[in-house]
Chain A
Amino acid sequence: MNKSLILHFRPNKIRQKALDFSMTFGLGGMALVLLMMLFTTGILLKFYYLPFPDRAYDSIMHLKTEVLFGSFIRNIHYWSANLLIAASFLHFLRVFFTSAFHRKRRFNWIIGLSLFIITILFNFTGYLLPWDQLSYWAVTICTGMMEYIPVIGKWIQNITAGGAEVNSSTLSIFYAAHTMLFPALIILILPFHFWRIRKAGGIALPDDCSDKADKMDVIPNLILRETVTALVLIAAVLLLSVFFNAPLGDEANPGLSPNPTKAPWYFMGLQEMLLHVHPFFAVCVIPLIILAGLILTAYSRYSDTREGIWFISPKGKATAAASFTGALVLTAFAVILDEYLIDFTALLLSLPQFISNGIIPLAAAFLAFFIFYFLFIKRFSPDKNEKVQAVFVFFLTVFIVFTVTGIWFRGTGMKLVF
């Protein structure tokens, strides 16, 4: 009975190689476990939470101080939510770096990207609900970003945030989205994601045939490994929740922005970008370029796909490392340069900021990238897979440097601090 139920979700037999932990690090499964914990604790929190500006904060305080295990349940929800972002991002990196996005998996790459975007929005809508200073101002910044989307920005802002200011409409919209819309979307799309993996023949594995003849039983081999991973993860989340409380600031005060005001950590890369370029580029142009690039990654033509091999080949490892180092040095240099030496706006006062603080710094950044890319091609003469990987690593590194700078190296007044 149990066995046949499990075999609805899992194949009967799989290749030995599919059991290797280092093939996937169990990240997709971890994301699923975290999601289940979020649904459970989310339902529990819903019994106490009140989505009104004058009562939301008090209801959280009540939960924390009066309700037995109130803090604990909230902490589990908080830690699972943050770990889910991390786990799904790492899962995305794993899929990319084991070339698991070709042919039959192309469309699943798109589904995965959509799920990741939904996860971010899911988390972000939850961020506002405690209605403390932290959440109020983080959401103010992020809804303010929408104004810079041309033509439809105001309209999107009105529908998703109920106007230009964070107010009671924003709270009820975010509450509805967080507790109904996004859970429903996830429940609808996630099975599709899993089903596409089955259709592609399980996880991406190298093409050598050594273990193809002698397949392993899924029960107990795979199920046992999955259960252990899930239990270790659950234990870790529970321990985190016992020892580290979810943050809660003072009650939201629309008249006083804390200094510094920071977006949620997963938006820090975006916020850091906002310090350097005009918001139109940071909020609209660059995210669209990234999204288009990610879709193109799966849908462009490759002569040889090398599925299931980490970093493609030994040369792939070397080129990825070179790209990482180059991007690390260039980005750190650019951030420091922009902070202390060059101020395009002040240098070019006569020009509109759109050009002086938008097109010019971006052009400089892309010029640096193309020079790097040209030298990279000359030095390594990589094939298509390695080129795509190098470009991916480059922009990934820029994003990571921005995020790290934003989280740890920005102090009062958003000045660089060490």
Chain B
Amino acid sequence: MSKSAKSDKDNNSRKTEPTSRRSFLNVLWTVLGIAAAAEFIVVITRFLGRKKTGSNGTSSDNIIQAGSVESFPNNSVTANIQGRFYLVRLDDGGFIALSSKCTHLGCTVPWDDKEKRFECPCHGSSFDITGKVLTSPAPRPLDHYPVSIENNMVIVDTGSAIKREKFLKEQLVYSKKVQS
């Protein structure tokens, strides 16, 4: 009883001087504590955040020589196992390199040559030869990689996949001979 009365008294005296040294130090310690916790969290998240995804190291590893232009007939799909992409040549001779990763959840999409489409085994998405979605749940067409043709060689840069909302003619790359 007397104890609680005493503590009441303490509280009262504290109320009369709100900016005592004690309350200032309490605020200071709280702020410092929060700052320390924030620093700690930053250190942990930065420590865990990885820069490079995957094991593909330098950028020269990402440049893949797929083969000579003639080795890909029109209207064909050739799997490139090393680069995990499909080199597609359309009817008109245009090239596009499609990532073999399903845009839904990342499964590897096999090409069904009979049905002429890519069919994902995981959730049943399918894509046509240009990567366009034929059946959902895939939310967007297959990603593609930059293709260039130098000295009649088809070269694919698998460094970064290009995301797209739809298939456009501009995504195709032509060999100069075919165009002229």
Residues of A whose CB lies within 8 Å of any CB of B are 137, 140-141, 143-145, 155, 158-159, 162-165, 167-169, 254-261, 271, 274-275, 278-279, 343, 345, 353-354, 357, 412-415
- Contact at A163–B120, with CB atoms within 8 Å? no
| 8 Å CB contact of B107 from A137, A155, A275, A343 | A137
Q: Is the CB of B123 within 8 A of A414?
A: yes
**1/0 per position for B52-78, CB-CB distance to A under 8 A?**
111100000000000000000000000
Q: What CA separation (Å) do A323 and B178 show in the bound complex? A: 66
The minimal Cβ–Cβ distance linking B92 to chain A, given in whole angstroms, is: 25
- State the CA gap A260–B45 with chains docked (Å): 36
Q: Decide: A143 and B84 in contact? CB cutoff 8 A.
A: no
Q: Is the CB of B106 within 8 A of A345?
A: no
Q: What band does the interface of chain B fall in when counting residues whose beta carbon is under 8 Å from A? A: 20 to 34
Contact A254 B84 (CB under 8 A): yes
**Cα–Cα, bound, A412→B122 (Å):** 9
A258 — which chain B residues lie within 8 A by C-beta?
A: 121
Given A254-B108, A260-B121; 9 other pairs, CB 8 A cutoff: A162-B53, A168-B55, A255-B81, A255-B84, A257-B108, A261-B107, A261-B121, A279-B137, A413-B119
* Contact indicator A144/B136 (Cβ below 8 Å): no
Given A278-B137, A279-B105, do A158 and B119 touch, yes or no (CB 8 Å)?
A: no
Q: Mark B92-118, 1 if CB is under 8 A from A, else 0.
A: 000000001100111111100000000
Q: Is the CB of B81 within 8 A of A413?
A: no
Q: What residue in chain B is nearest A145 (Cβ atoms)?
A: B105
CA distance A140 to B55 in the complex (A): 16
Chain B 121-143: CB-based contact to A (< 8 A → 1; otherwise 0): 11110000000000111010000
B48 within 8 Å of A (CB atoms): yes
Question: Which residues of B lie under 8 Å from residue A144 when comparing CB positions?
Answer: 104-107
CA distance A345 to B126 in the complex (A): 13
How many A-B pairs have beta carbons closer than 8 Å: the answer is 95
Q: Which of B48, B49, B107, B124 contacts A257 (CB 8 A)?
A: B107
Q: Which residues of B contact A254 (CB under 8 A)?
A: 84, 108
Which B residues are CB-close (under 8 A) to A162? 50, 53
Which chain A residues lie closer than 8 Å to B49 at the CB level? 155, 158-159
Within 8 A of A (CB), among B149-165: none
A to B CB contacts below 8 Å, 7 in the list:
A145-B105, A163-B52, A255-B84, A261-B107, A278-B139, A357-B137, A413-B119
Inter-chain contact B53/A357, CB cutoff 8 Å: no
Set A167, A413, A414: member contacting B55, Cβ < 8 A: A167
Measured CB to CB, the nearest residue on chain A to B108 is: A257
Q: How far is the CA of A137 from the CA of B121 in the complex (A)?
A: 11
B124 in complex: contacting residue of A145, A158, A168, A275, CB < 8 Å: A275
Chain B residues packing against A (C-beta within 8 Å): 45, 48-50, 52-55, 81, 84, 100-101, 104-110, 119-124, 135-137, 139
With contacts A353-B136, A353-B139 taken as known, whether A140 is within 8 angstroms of B107 at the C-beta atoms is yes
B122 touches A137 (CB 8 A): yes
Are B54 and A163 in contact, CB atoms less than 8 angstroms apart? yes
Decide if B137 touches A143 in the complex (CB within 8 Å): no
CA distance A205 to B121 in the complex (A): 50
| Separation of A150 and B123 alpha carbons in the complex (Å) | 22
* A413 and B124 contact, Cβ closer than 8 Å, known pairs A140-B106, A141-B107: yes
Are B124 and A415 in contact, CB atoms less than 8 angstroms apart?
A: yes
**Cβ-closest chain A residue relative to B105:** A144
Partner of A274, one of B100, B105, B135: B105
CB-nearest residue of chain A to B82: A255
Q: A137-B122, A413-B124 are in contact. Are A143 and B53 (CB under 8 A)?
A: no
- Whether the pair A141, B84 counts as a contact (CB closer than 8 A) is no
Q: How far is the CA of A140 from the CA of B122 in the complex (A)?
A: 10
Chain A residues near B48 (CB-CB < 8 A) = 159
* Cα distance, A343 to B119, chains bound together (Å): 18
Closest to B109 in A: A257
| Distance of A141 Cα from B122 Cα, bound (Å) | 8
User: In the bound complex, how far is the Cα of B110 from the Cα of A353, in angstroms?
Assistant: 23
Contact B107 A169 (CB under 8 A): no
B106 touches A165 (CB 8 A): yes
Chain B residue with minimal CB distance to A357?
B136
Q: How many Å lie between the Cα of A258 and that of B45 in the bound state?
A: 35
Tell me the nearest residue of chain B to A272, going by C-beta. B123
Q: How far is the CA of A414 from the CA of B136 in the complex (A)?
A: 12
Q: How far is the CB of B13 from chain A (nearest CB, A)?
A: 35
How far is B107's CA from A140's CA once the two chains are assembled, in angstroms? 7
Tell me, in angstroms, the Cα distance from A207 to B77 when the chains sit together.
72
Measured CB to CB, the nearest residue on chain B to A170 is B54
Closest to B106 in A: A144
Q: Are B121 and A257 in contact (CB under 8 A)?
A: yes
Assess the A279–B106 pair: CB atoms within 8 A: no
In the complex, A137→B108 CA distance in Å?
9
Q: How far is the CA of A158 from the CA of B99 in the complex (A)?
A: 20
> Residue of A at shortest CB range from B122?
A261
Contacts of B119 in A (CB 8 A): 413
Given contacts A255-B81, A279-B139, is CB(A165)–CB(B53) below 8 Å? yes
Q: Is the CB of B53 within 8 A of A275?
A: no
Shortest 3 CB-CB contacts between residues of A and residues of B? A163-B53, A259-B121, A144-B105
* A260:B122 contact, CB within 8 angstroms: yes
Residues of A within 8 A of B50 (CB): 158-159, 162-163, 169
Query: Which chain A residues border B100 with CB–CB below 8 Å?
Result: 255
Complex: how many Å from CA A140 to CA B106? 6
